[in-house]
C-alpha cells in the first residue's frame, strides 16, 4: 500500500501510514518506497525523513544517498547535494 499511495502522489498519507498505523517495525522496503515517491513527486521534506530513516537502517546503501541527492537536485538544493556527496566519500561509498 505504501508504494501504491506514494506513486499516486499521496505522500502525506503514505508517511502517516508508515509512522502512525504500522503495528510492526518498519523496514527499509517501506522507507525506500516512500523515498522513491518523494523523488517522483518532488517532496523534499518527507524525502529527508525517509532518507534519514534509511540511513539508520542500512547506512552502507549508497542508493539511498543517491536518491536523496536527486531530490535535492530537482529542488535546486545544490549545497545539500555537495554535503551528501562529501558524506558518501567520507564513508567510502
The alpha helices in the chain, defined as continuous H runs, are 2-7, 11-16, 28-40, 44-57, 62-74, 78-91
What is the pLDDT, as a whole number, of residue 21?
A: 61
Mean pLDDT of 57-79: 95
pTM flag (> 0.75): yes
The rounded mean pLDDT for the chain is: 88
Q: Three cell numbers at 75?
A: 529542488
Q: How confident is the model at residue 46 (pLDDT cuts 50, 70, 90)?
A: very high
Each domain of the chain, given as residue ranges in start order, spans 2-91
CA distance 30 to 84: 22
pLDDT greater than 90 at residue 57: yes
Task: Report DSSP state, residue 37.
Answer: H
Amino acid at each position: 500500500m505504501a508504494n501504491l499511495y506514494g506513486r499516486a502522489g499521496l505522500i502525506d498519507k503514505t508517511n502517516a501510514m508508515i509512522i502512525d498505523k504500522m503495528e510492526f517495525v518498519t523496514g527499509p522496503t517501506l522507507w525506500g518506497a516512500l523515498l522513491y515517491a518523494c523523488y517522483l513527486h518532488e517532496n523534499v521534506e518527507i524525502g529527508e525523513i525517509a532518507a534519514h530513516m534509511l540511513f539508520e537502517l542500512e547506512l552502507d546503501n549508497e542508493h539511498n544517498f543517491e536518491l536523496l541527492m536527486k531530490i535535492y537536485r530537482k529542488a535546486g538544493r545544490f549545497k545539500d547535494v555537495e554535503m551528501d556527496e562529501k558524506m558518501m566519500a567520507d564513508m567510502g561509498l
